[in-house]
Amino acid sequence: MKIGILTSGGDCPGLNAVIRGAVLKGIKVYGQEFVGFRDGWRGVVEGDIMDLPRQSVRGISKQGGTILGTSRTNPFEGNGGPEVIKAHMDRLGIDAIIAIGGEGTLAAARRLTDAGLNIVGVPKTVDNDLDATDYTFGFDTAVQIATEAIDRLRTTGESHHRCMVAEVMGRHVGWIALHAGMATGAHAILIPEQATSLEQIATWVNEAHERGRAPLVVVAEGFVPDHQDSPHSERGLDAFGRPRLGGIGEQLAPQIEAMTGIETRATVLGHIQRGGVPSAFDRVLATRLGMAAIDSVVEQRWGTMVSLNGTEIEHVPFEEALGNLKTVPQHRYDEAAILFG
């Protein structure tokens, strides 16, 4: 059997570990042959591939990014579509595709599976927002990177007696903000799941300042203050029609300063959270998911993705992963909020 692998959407620490796990198990256990599609769905639509022999994945689990390249190409737009992709697969002798990606990638994979293509998925997102899996690889690394960066912001904030606002990724969920904020002892954590007033934010900042602390606010890029209707977005839409979020930290900083009189600075961590080497946890999880994806292919579990349930790897339909965002539950926010101010 010849299997094509693609990585699509935003890059993420652990992608190469998935590729390595799939290729090694597929070759060693099942004698399969592998190719990689270059730059995500673009390579699938154009039939642009590279061979993936065993030596091509040697030592790559510790590397960030993806050796295959990625893009936000929509496989149904332009010259794409299931007929075009099927023709390329037939021409290249590819029997199945392992699609590694987030919500947009897996939604496209689901549509292509419904059209008759043999596809299985591996969930990927630093945001940890995919349902039907407890954790996605890349999240642990993103939190660690954010934590280290925020620790550094605290020292400069304390030196200048400033309030520091750190904006982290997460799209429409607050998992990175929650974990990084708790890890760094933030005085306020602002997430999309909790509409919070500027007055409440100012109260938390003032409480910390009155105790002689340099206030620290961690805000998720998708946070919506209670006086706004939607997340701050000034960068247009991505290839799947979703708003590109970001900039809420810069919007909040002058408002906090005006309400508290405390000099306030904002830092957007941005893409640094997706770069660099993956953590040990993410390397192990990604490798296990890649190996499990091979089992999905062998067992012809088309239209499913591998997922983490507790400590075990399971196979779940795309529908379970795509039905709802996995948001921060109220009780998780409430336990963090005890530490605010």
Residues that are catalytic: 127
Q: Which sign does the torsion angle of CA 6, 139, 241, 316 carry?
A: positive
Contacts of 153 (CB under 8 A, 6+ apart): 164, 166, 216, 267
* 239 DSSP assignment: T
Strand duo 188-190 + 96-101: pairing = unpaired
Gap between the Cα atoms of 141 and 15, Å rounded: 12
Gap between the Cα atoms of 236 and 224, Å rounded: 17
Of 201, 299, 216, nearest in space to 258 by CA: 201
- The distance from CA 163 to its chain's CA centroid, rounded to whole angstroms, is 28
* 81 DSSP assignment: S
Position 137: which residue type? Answer: F
- The distance from CA 207 to its chain's CA centroid, rounded to whole angstroms, is 33
Number of Cβ within a 10 Å radius of residue 212: 8
**Tokens 């579990």, residue located:** 301
For 13, phi and psi rounded to 5 degrees?
-60, 130
Strand partners, 33: 2
Q: Which sign does the torsion angle of CA 25, 127, 78, 118 carry?
A: positive
**Tokens 């737009």, residue located:** 77
Contacts of 84 (CB under 8 A, 6+ apart): 45
Structure token pair of residue 194: 């909790």
CA distances from 21 to 17, 56, 287 (A): 6, 12, 5
